[in-house]
A and B are shown apart, each in its own frame.
Chain A
Amino acid sequence: MHEVAIVDALIAQVEEEVRRAGVSGRVVRLDLTIGRLSGVSVEAIRFALELLAPGTVVESARVEIRQPAAVACCAACGHRADIDHVPAHCPRCGSRELSVEGGRELLLESIELEESPP
Chain B
Amino acid sequence: MKIIAAKKILKANEQLAEANRAAFNAAGVLAVNMVGSPGSGKTTLLEALVAALRGRMRLAVIEGDIAGSIDAERMEALGVPVVQINTEGACHLDATMIAAAAQGLELAAADCLVIENVGNLVCTAGFDLGEHVRLVLLSVTEGDDKLVKYPPIFRGSHGLVITKCDLLPHVNFRLDQAAADMRRLAPEAPVFQVCALRNEGVAALADWLAQRRP
Q: Which of A1, A97, A100, A108 is B5 in contact with, Cβ under 8 Å?
A: A108
Contact, CB under 8 Å: A111 / B104: no
Q: Mark B164-179, 1 if CB is under 8 A from A, else 0.
A: 0000000000000000
Instruction: Report the bound CA distance from A81 to B170 in whole Å.
Output: 50
Q: Which of B15, B100, B104 is A38 in contact with, Cβ under 8 Å?
A: B100
Q: Which of A74-93 contact B (CB under 8 A)?
A: 85-86, 88
Given contacts A2-B20, A23-B1, A112-B1, contact A97 B9 (CB under 8 A): no
- What is the distance, in angstroms, from B8's C-beta to the closest C-beta of chain A? 6
Interface SS, B side: mixed
Instruction: Report the bound CA distance from A21 to B3 in whole Å.
Output: 8
Interface size on A, residues (CB 8 A): 39
Instruction: Report the bound CA distance from A1 to B72 in whole Å.
Output: 26
Instruction: Report the bound CA distance from A1 to B99 in whole Å.
Output: 9
- What is the distance, in angstroms, from A89's C-beta to the closest C-beta of chain B? 9
Task: Say yes or no for A56: interface residue by CB 8 A criterion.
Answer: no
Task: Say yes or no for A60: interface residue by CB 8 A criterion.
Answer: no
Instruction: Report the bound CA distance from A39 to B94 in whole Å.
Output: 12
Interface SS, A side: mixed
Contact, CB under 8 Å: B16 / A97: no
Q: Which of B2, B11, B19 is A111 in contact with, Cβ under 8 Å?
A: B2
Task: Say yes or no for B97: interface residue by CB 8 A criterion.
Answer: yes
Contact, CB under 8 Å: A101 / B88: yes
- What is the distance, in angstroms, from B90's C-beta to the closest C-beta of chain A? 10
Closest to A113 in B: B1
Contact, CB under 8 Å: A10 / B18: no
Q: Which of A18, A37, A38 is B3 in contact with, Cβ under 8 Å?
A: A18
**Which residues of A are at the interface with B, using a C-beta cutoff of 8 A?**
1-2, 4-6, 8-10, 13-14, 17-18, 21, 23, 25, 32, 37-40, 85-86, 88, 96-101, 104, 106-113, 115
Additional A-B contacts beyond A2-B99, A88-B69, A99-B86 (9; CB < 8 A): A5-B18, A13-B11, A104-B100, A106-B10, A107-B6, A108-B6, A111-B5, A113-B3, A115-B1
**Which residues of B are at the interface with A, using a C-beta cutoff of 8 A?**
1-12, 15-16, 18-20, 22-23, 67-69, 72-73, 83-84, 86, 88, 96-97, 99-104
